[in-house]
Amino acid sequence: MSIGTCSDERQASPLAGLTEAVLACRACQEAGFLQRANPIRPAVLDDARMVLIGQAPGPVTDRKGYHFAGPAGTFLSAWLDRAGFPAGYFREHVYLSSLTRCFPGKSASGNGDRQPSTAEIGLCRHFLDWELEGLNPRVVLLVGKMAIDAFLGKQPLERTVGRVFSVHGRVFVPLPHASGVSRWLNTPAHRALLDQALGELSRLRVELNL
Ligand code: SF4
């Protein structure tokens, strides 16, 4: 799939108008979920080969203004290296997105970031559907339990990470949360599941010429 960067190509793209619509969105602020909506600008890639969907922007992404600008991006890029993708592939060929596009703020306990509510995810979902319809990716990486649950139904991470799921001709690859503070990966058995998931991704890289 190819997403042009010049204005003529953007006009012809099924994602034309997405950036403006996202940046103008204040739905969660107007509904009282956010004090200040600050949507992250959608990516524009010349050659997007996969779509990656995370939970929500973190504070670094909120500050810098592009998806996965913080530690999670560093981890995910390293995971793709481990799956045999060439250096730079993460930023050049993976269309990065998330269930919601505004930093939800810190959790009430002050321990980590607040998870977006079901209502916020619902308000933001049409942007994600627009991207998936426009890009029509063969492979979608789902990062973290919330993103996995949104597409594959609620189930423990242990039942999804390490496997691939084919739904209506699209392959979904679940991955754990990649923030670097995820305790899930402290368990050797869970790290083995991540290895398995990256092995599956490596297999898809070759089979689908990603
Ligand atoms: S999270 Fe999504 S729906 Fe909510 S204000 Fe931000 S862009 Fe709009």
The whole-model pTM stands at 0.92
What's the confidence (pLDDT) of residue 109? Answer: 82
In this predicted structure, the answer to whether residue 112 has a pLDDT above a threshold of 90 is: no
In this predicted structure, the answer to whether residue 53 has a pLDDT above a threshold of 50 is: yes
Q: Between vectors from CA 81 to CA 201 and to CA 115, what angle results, nearest 5°?
A: 75
In this predicted structure, the answer to whether residue 155 has a pLDDT above a threshold of 70 is: yes
Question: Residue 200: CB within 6 Å of ligand 1?
Answer: no
Question: Residue 18: CB within 6 Å of ligand 1?
Answer: no
What's the confidence (pLDDT) of residue 7? Answer: 45
19 pLDDT band (50/70/90 cuts)? very high
Nearest residue to 53 via CA among 93, 91, 96, 116: 96
Q: Put residue 22 in one of left, alpha, beta given phi > 0 → left and psi -120 to 50 → alpha.
A: alpha
In this predicted structure, the answer to whether residue 10 has a pLDDT above a threshold of 50 is: no
Task: Choose which residue among 123, 125, 128, 129 to substitute to test ligand 1 binding: the one with the highest number of ligand atoms within 8 A of its C-beta.
Answer: 123
Average pLDDT over every residue of 111-121: 93
Distances from the Cα of 23 to the Cα of 11, 17, 19, 158, angstroms: 17, 10, 6, 36
| 8 Å CB contact between 39 and 101 | yes
Q: Which structural domains are found in the chain, ordered by start? A: 7-207 (3.40.470.10)
CA dist 17 and 62 (Å) reads: 21
182 pLDDT band (50/70/90 cuts)? confident
**Dihedral through CA 127, CA 129, CA 132, CA 138, nearest 10?**
150
Distances from the Cα of 111 to the Cα of 79, 107, 121, 196, angstroms: 26, 6, 21, 30
In this predicted structure, the answer to whether residue 2 has a pLDDT above a threshold of 70 is: no
Task: Choose which residue among 115, 120, 126, 129 to substitute to test ligand 1 binding: the one with the highest number of ligand atoms within 8 A of its C-beta.
Answer: 120
What's the confidence (pLDDT) of residue 12? Answer: 61
| 8 Å CB contact between 178 and 75 | yes
In this predicted structure, the answer to whether residue 197 has a pLDDT above a threshold of 90 is: yes
Task: Choose which residue among 19, 33, 101, 115 to substitute to test ligand 1 binding: the one with the highest number of ligand atoms within 8 A of its C-beta.
Answer: 101
Averaged pLDDT of the chain: 92
Average pLDDT over every residue of 173-187: 87
